[in-house]
Structure 1
Amino acid sequence: MTIHFVVHDEGDSVGVVVVEGLKAGTKLTGWIMDQDKLIEFDAKNDIPIGHKLAIKGIKSGDTIIKYGVDIGKAVKDIGAGEHLHVHNVKTKRW
């Protein structure tokens, strides 16, 4: 079985892609490290290695949690399996 993304804790809202060439429509398997648990869903977009993907639905204005840390806020609704990047997440710093 291929692990496509990793998540530190099930309280996180994103995982990090760990394989090259992830394409929309791919059945994804992710590993939640702290709970040693697997989750699955379909990729909604092509997502480059090292980039984030939503592991649950996120509403516009919601805080994004990665590694248990607030990394910003959603500026539009994001569905599970969608790519998170500068087009839909912004820092809260400024």
Structure 2
Amino acid sequence: MAANLRTWHVLGWNGTDKIYEQNFRHYDFSDKQMKELLQRLLCRQMSEQEVANATMRRRKGEGPRVLDVQSNRTGDRFILSVGDTPHFTAVVIDVDV
């Protein structure tokens, strides 16, 4: 019987083009660290001015910024996502080892 390894499955997309895919052991990243990784991966795809604009202080009533990481729990799946085009996601999955 195969054992399962809890894993972060990270994907990056630019439109319909996959630009990044990597698995990491779940215990190597806290949720906060994974959010930071997703933000850093997105910043690599942005211009310096886009990064500065996305980092500026928000005005009252403004919606989320492109670097705001969204989290969603659907059943037993935990999903983090950041960006629009491009965007990155991290999903916790079990991988057979």
Which TM-score tier does this pair reach, normalised by the shorter chain?
A: under 0.3
Higher RCO (C-alpha under 8 Å, 6+ residues apart): 2
Say which structure is richer in strand.
Answer: 2
- Kindly name which structure, 1 or 2, has the bigger radius of gyration based on alpha carbons: 2
Q: TM-score, normalised by structure 1?
A: 0.25
Higher helix share goes to which structure? 2
Q: What is the TM-score normalised by the length of structure 2?
A: 0.25
